[in-house]
Homo-oligomer: A and B are copies of this chain.
Amino acid sequence: MKKQIIAAKDSQPRPKRADAQRKVGSLLKAATEVFAESGVDAPVREIAERAGVGLGTVYRHFPQRSDLIVAVFQSNVDACADTAPVLADKHPPLKALSLWMERYVDFIATKRGLCKALYSGDAAYKALPEYFNSRLRPALMSLLDGAVEAKAVRPGTDPNDLLVAVANLCNAGYGRDPQHARRMAKLLVDGLRYRAED
Contacts and interface: CB of A to CB of B under 8 A. Distances in A.
Contacts of A91: none
A120 interface: yes
A80 B101 CA distance: 48
Nearest to A113: B121
Nearest to A39: B121
Contacts of A115: 119, 121
Query: DSSP class of A's interface residues: helix, strand, loop or mixed?
Result: loop
Interface string A116-155: 1001110000000000000000000000000000000000
Interface in A80-118: 115-116
Q: What is the interface residue range for chain A against chain B?
A: under 10
A121 B121 CA distance: 15
Contacts of A120: 116
A115 B120 CA distance: 8
A121 B175 CA distance: 12
A116 B119 CA distance: 7
Nearest to A121: B116
Contacts of A121: 115-116
A115 B121 CA distance: 10
A171 to B, nearest CB: 10
A116 B116 CA distance: 8
A155 B124 CA distance: 45
Contacts of A119: 115-116, 119
Interface in A155-187: none
Interface of A: 115-116, 119-121
Closest 5 CB pairs of A and B: A119-B119, A116-B120, A116-B121, A116-B119, A115-B121
